[in-house]
Amino acid sequence: MLIAFRMKNILSTIADNTGILSYMLNKSAINSGLILMYHRIIEPCETNQLLEPGMYVTPKTLESHILYLKNYYKISTFKEFVSRYKEDVKMNMRPFCVLTFDDGWYDFYKNVYPLIKKYKIPATVFLPTSFIGTENWFWTDRLAHLISKCGETILLDAMRSGIRNPLARQVNQLRGSPHTRLNKAIRILKSFSNESIEKTLSDLSMIWGITSNPPGRAFLSWGEVEKLFQSGFVEFGSHTASHQILPGLDDESIKYELDSSKNELISKRVIDPDFIPFCYPNGSMDKRIVKKVREVGYGAAVTTMPGWNSHRADQFILNRVGIHQDMTSNSAMFGCRIAGLI
C-alpha cells in the first residue's frame, strides 16, 4: 500500500511539473462536466471502525479539494448541472463540477457542513432512507467491525470447532491484515443475496463471540437532514430505501426500493419534488434498472463509472470520479485523479 502511494505521488508530481496534468485537465473539460464521488469525511482516529481506504477522505484533504476546485471550476448543484444537458449548452468556460456524497453519514453533518458553509458552495447527498434516523449500519461496516475485533486466536479456534456455513467458513479462513481480510471478504459476499449475507454475519458474530453492530450511529437524523436542506447549501437525492444491489432484486422489490425512498424524501420536505436525483447502490445497474428509475420519476441518476460527462450524456447514466484519501492527499494527486491519470 505504501509503495503504491509513493509511486502515485511521484507520477503525479511529474505530470504536474511537466504540464501533462494541465493539458489533460483542459482536454477533459472540453464540452464536459465533472461529478465527484465522496463517501465518508472523517479522520481515522475519530472512529474505532476499520475504514476501507477507498471509502473516506479527511476533512483537511476535503478542504484542500474545495480550494483547488474553486480556482478552476464552477461548483454547482446537481439540478443546475443536469439542466445544462437539457439545454444542450456547451460547458466551455469554467467547467461545471458537482460534489456528491453517498450514504448520508453523520460525519457529513459534523465535518462537511462547516466547510460548505465556510466556502458557500453546494453539495448533493444521496440518502438510503431506511437507515436515516436509525442506529443501523450497512453490512459492510458490520463486517468491518467483526473483522477488526477478531484476532488470530479466535480464527484458529473457530476453524478447529468447525463452521457449517460455507460462506462464514470462507471468511474465517482469510488471512492477512484486517484491511486485506475485509476487502477480500466484501468481494466474496457482494455477489450473494442480502439474506445470505445477513445469515453469514449472524453466524460469524456467534462463532467469534463478537457483537455484530458497531457502537453509536452511522447516519444522519431526519432533523439534521432538515437543517442541512434549510441551509440552502445541501441538495438531497435517493440512494434507494435499504441500499440493496438493484439488479439482483425482482421487479416488485426494485419498485419498492425506488418508490418508498422517493416518497419518504417528498413527505419529509427535504427535496425539490420537481427534481429528485438518484444514485445506484454500488453503481450497479442495467437497462432494466435505468428504465425503472426513469419511470418512477427521478430527474437524473449517477453511477460509479469513472470519467467526465459530455453535455450530450444520458442523464440517467452519469459518470463520477471516485475520490479516496490514498489517491488525493495532495493537489497534484487530486488533479491527476480528476484527469483520470491515477
Looking at per-residue confidence, does 300 or 95 come out higher?
300
**Average pLDDT over every residue of 83-104:** 78
| Contact indicator for 104, 126 with CB cutoff of 8 Å | yes
**Average pLDDT over every residue of 304-309:** 96
- pLDDT attached to residue 87: 66
- pLDDT attached to residue 197: 95
CA distance 341 to 86: 30
pTM over 0.85: yes
Q: pLDDT tens digit string along 188-241?
A: 998 898 899 999 999 999 999 998 888 888 999 999 999 999 999 999 999 999
CA distance 77 to 80: 5
> All domains of the chain, ordered by start, with CATH?
2-132+235-339 (3.20.20.370), 139-208 (no CATH)
- pLDDT attached to residue 54: 78
- Residue 57 pLDDT grade (very low, low, confident, very high; cuts 50, 70, 90): very high
Q: What are all long-range contacts of 39-42, with beta carbons under 8 Å and residues at least 24 apart?
A: 39/101, 39/102, 39/103, 39/105, 40/103, 40/105, 40/107, 41/101, 41/105, 41/107, 41/108, 41/111, 41/112, 42/105, 42/107, 42/111
- Residue 148 pLDDT grade (very low, low, confident, very high; cuts 50, 70, 90): very high
